[in-house]
């Protein structure tokens, strides 16, 4: 676990969380069953979002885990959800977090993140038409996020997909600085500048797509089938997935890895009792970089969004 800044009760985040977003979507029943398995094998950190459609099955899984005695109390879990961009408006944020809490059957979140540094009109679909995408009014939006924390609806607040520039703007107005920036991060998209910036400012980084989001519309097999990572894995008797997750851990970040398969869930937790050599780390830091999630195809070509698609 890593202790977070600017949160209630010395909140700490378990280094590995279970991602719950998949495409095509998995049925709520299968999602709930997978999450119960994850709790059984030791996951205590779960990542969801209003967008994913997994808040309800996660809530049901937590309720069931409590009934079955797999956990003694909700406090043993660390739960993140995210504000979807159609609600990124000062008057819509408290209702949005309350809706997420109802879906999750919880009184509070551990972490509530602004999903993207942009606002969508309420009727926008994905991908949105150009006229439905707007810059975020960060001051009023962040004040409402701070209100969520002050009301006890979440222990911590943070952001996702923010660049250094977005964070600088946010830090200049925040009364409560963001605890987390959750971004796409893996051995093939290393975000060195952003990680260094966040470290300097005391913002913890969480990696999404730590395995390259294989089989989703925003990812591919470039991590799991990367020759160099495969070579390192073979030499160490580990899997390529484990090499990627271990590399992330050694960078000081936490990560949300999605697997709904019990064996792979277990495998992804087994990264703590071995390490990469300096030579292996050097090889990884020289791999060519490519981003999986193309912001322009998700939200359209907007000049003020272009920074999100370049390494930062
Ligand atoms: P599955 O759910 O069938 O295990 P990311 O966490 O980067 O979004 O990647 C998620 C993708 O990687 C999913 O397709 C998931 O499939 C797959 N995956 C997760 N863990 C492993 C693993 N240890 N080995 C191979 N594939 C994995």
The CB of 213 under 6 Å from ligand 1? The reply is yes
User: Domain residues for 208?
Assistant: 2-309
As given in the structure block, the two tokens for residue 1 are: 């676990």
pLDDT at 244: 98
Q: Could you tell which of 22, 185, 214, 269 is best to mutate to test the pocket of ligand 1, judged by most ligand atoms within 8 Å of the CB?
A: 214
Tokens 């470290």, located at residue: 199
Reply yes or no: is the peptide bond before residue 127 cis, omega within 30 of 0: yes
The CB of 260 under 6 Å from ligand 1? The reply is yes
d(CA 11, CA 179): 10
Reply yes or no: is the peptide bond before residue 23 cis, omega within 30 of 0: no
pLDDT at 201: 98
Q: How far is CA 39 from CA 23, 58, 64, 120, 303, in A?
A: 22, 11, 11, 34, 43
pLDDT at 310: 83
pLDDT at 309: 84
CATH of the domain at 20: 3.20.20.100
The CB of 257 under 6 Å from ligand 1? The reply is yes
The CB of 264 under 6 Å from ligand 1? The reply is yes
d(CA 162, CA 180): 10
| Cβ atoms of residues 188 and 288 within 8 Å | yes
The CB of 124 under 6 Å from ligand 1? The reply is no
* Closest residue by CA, ligand 1 atom 24: 241
Closest ligand 1 atom to the C-alpha of 257? Answer: 6
Output the CA 35–ligand 1 centroid distance in Å. 14
Output the CA 286–ligand 1 centroid distance in Å. 24
The CB of 214 under 6 Å from ligand 1? The reply is yes
Q: Could you tell which of 31, 189, 259 is best to mutate to test the pocket of ligand 1, judged by most ligand atoms within 8 Å of the CB?
A: 259
Of the candidates 201, 196, 209, 306, the residue with the CA atom closest to the CA atom of residue 252: 196
Q: Could you give the dihedral angle defined by the CA atoms of residues 194, 198, 199 and 203, in that order, rounded to the nearest 10 degrees?
A: -150
pLDDT at 206: 98
108 is an active site residue: no
Closest ligand 1 atom to the C-alpha of 223? Answer: 7
Output the CA 300–ligand 1 centroid distance in Å. 28
Overall domain count for the chain: 1
Supply the pTM of this predicted model: 0.97
The CB of 268 under 6 Å from ligand 1? The reply is yes
Output the CA 126–ligand 1 centroid distance in Å. 24
302 is in an annotated binding site: no
* Closest residue by CA, ligand 1 atom 9: 213
Tens digit of each residue's pLDDT, the chain (312 residues): 999 999 998 899 999 999 999 888 899 999 999 999 999 999 999 999 999 999 999 999 999 999 999 999 999 999 999 999 999 999 999 999 999 999 999 999 999 999 999 999 999 988 899 899 999 999 999 999 999 999 999 999 999 999 999 999 999 999 999 999 999 999 999 999 999 999 999 999 999 999 999 988 888 899 999 999 999 999 999 999 999 999 999 999 999 999 999 999 999 999 999 999 999 999 999 999 999 998 888 998 888 888 888 877
The CB of 161 under 6 Å from ligand 1? The reply is no
Output the CA 115–ligand 1 centroid distance in Å. 22
Contacts of residue 55, defined as CB under 8 A and 6 or more positions apart, other chains included, come to 48, 49, 81, 100, 103, 104
Closest ligand 1 atom to the C-alpha of 264? Answer: 23
Output the CA 210–ligand 1 centroid distance in Å. 9
């Amino acid at each position: 676990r890593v202790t977070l800044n600017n949160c209630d009760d010395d909140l700490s985040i378990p280094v590995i969380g279970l991602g719950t977003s998949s495409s095509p979507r998995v049925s709520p029943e299968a999602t709930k069953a997978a999450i119960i398995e994850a709790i059984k094998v030791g996951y205590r950190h779960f990542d969801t979002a209003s967008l994913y459609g997994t808040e309800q099955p996660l809530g049901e899984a937590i309720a069931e885990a409590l009934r079955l005695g797999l956990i003694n109390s909700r406090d043993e879990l660390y739960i993140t959800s995210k504000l979807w961009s159609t609600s990124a408006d000062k008057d819509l944020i408290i209702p949005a977090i309350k809706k997420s809490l109802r879906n999750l059957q919880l009184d509070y979140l551990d972490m509530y993140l602004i999903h993207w540094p942009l606002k969508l009109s309420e009727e926008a679909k994905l991908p949105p038409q150009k006229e439905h995408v707007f810059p975020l009014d960060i001051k009023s939006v962040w004040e409402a996020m701070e209100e969520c924390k002050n009301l006890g609806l979440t222990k911590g607040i943070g952001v996702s997909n923010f660049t250094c520039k977005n964070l600088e703007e946010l830090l200049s107005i925040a009364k409560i600085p963001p605890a987390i920036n959750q971004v796409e991060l893996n051995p093939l998209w290393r975000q060195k500048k952003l990680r260094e910036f966040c470290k300097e400012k005391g913002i913890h980084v969480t990696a999404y797509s730590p395995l390259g989001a294989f089989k989703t519309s925003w990812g591919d097999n470039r991590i799991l089938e990367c020759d160099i990572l495969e070579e390192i894995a073979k030499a160490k008797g580990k899997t390529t997935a484990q090499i990627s997750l271990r590399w992330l851990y050694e960078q000081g970040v936490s990560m949300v890895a999605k697997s709904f398969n019990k064996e792979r869930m277990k495998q992804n937790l087994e990264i703590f009792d071995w390490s990469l050599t300096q030579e292996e780390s050097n090889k990884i830091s020289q791999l060519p970089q490519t981003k999986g999630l193309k912001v322009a195809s998700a939200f359209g070509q907007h000049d003020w969004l272009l920074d999100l698609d370049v390494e930062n």
